[in-house]
Structure 1
């Protein structure tokens, strides 16, 4: 159980960190996000309507990551698919904002990629056997 916790804890914390993207776009506070535009247009920032849509997607990805981490902890069968969907959304949300996210979000993107790779390759079975 301790191994499961050591794997789930950083994943759940990564999910909670997604709140910063939501709050930065909806509250007007920076939450570590510099006031920079996204990759496609200099007029689109986190506080614009497009930024707010992405803020909602950050919230959805974060909830899914936290949910999949809890599902992993309690041994539910559905956690891998939720983890993959959530990691995918997380990556899709962060990439257009690459210049505007705090450096910790870059590490989160690497974490998302790692989860997607581990859960899609034959490594998944070895990983699950290791932490069971």
Structure 2
């Protein structure tokens, strides 16, 4: 039961990343503002670099959903994919901090929590809990 309770937020967090892809590749803003990213005043999600980040948002979605499914089905690789997804999530959220919807900022906090839990010395206890 604990396994499924932990898998659900991973899957939902992953699905939420489709908004970054949608915002950069379609005319649907998906909750994102038109403000530029934090490094330059002229760069937005509709620019070529924004499109590249859109693909990273999609890869992040796939990794987090995959991690949640891996956890659900007791696959040994789920912690690694979870770490990859959480790091990718921060990579796509942080540069667009001025642009992302408020929920993405909570997602960044979730990513930090996941990373901390997976690198701390008591990681093995957490992994034992979900097996």
Distance apart, 1:129 and its partner CA = 2.2
- Determine the C-alpha separation between the residues in 1 that align with 2:18 and 2:29: 12
> Over residues 13-53 of structure 1, what are the superposed CA-to-partner deviations in whole Å (9 max), with x where a residue is unaligned?
00000000000000121100011100011111011111110
Distance apart, 1:107 and its partner CA = 0.7
Runs ≥4 residues deviating over 2 A: 129-132
Q: Which residue of 2 aligns with 1:77?
A: 76
- Determine the C-alpha separation between the residues in 1 that align with 2:22 and 2:3: 30
Could you tell me which runs of 5 or more consecutive residues in structure 2 were left unpaired when the two chains were aligned: none
- Determine the C-alpha separation between the residues in 1 that align with 2:119 and 2:100: 27
Q: Which residue of 2 aligns with 1:38?
A: 37
Q: Residue 120 in 1 paired to residue 119 in 2?
A: yes
TM-score between the two structures when normalised by the length of structure 1: 0.95
Could you tell me which runs of 5 or more consecutive residues in structure 1 were left unpaired when the two chains were aligned: none
Distance apart, 1:123 and its partner CA = 2.2
Q: Residue 17 in 1 paired to residue 19 in 2?
A: no
Q: Which residue of 2 aligns with 1:100?
A: 99
How many residues align structurally?
A: 131
Corresponding residue SS for 1:44: coil
TM-score between the two structures when normalised by the length of structure 2: 0.96
- Determine the C-alpha separation between the residues in 2 that align with 1:45 and 1:123: 41
Structure 1 stretch displaced more, 6-15 or 116-125: 116-125
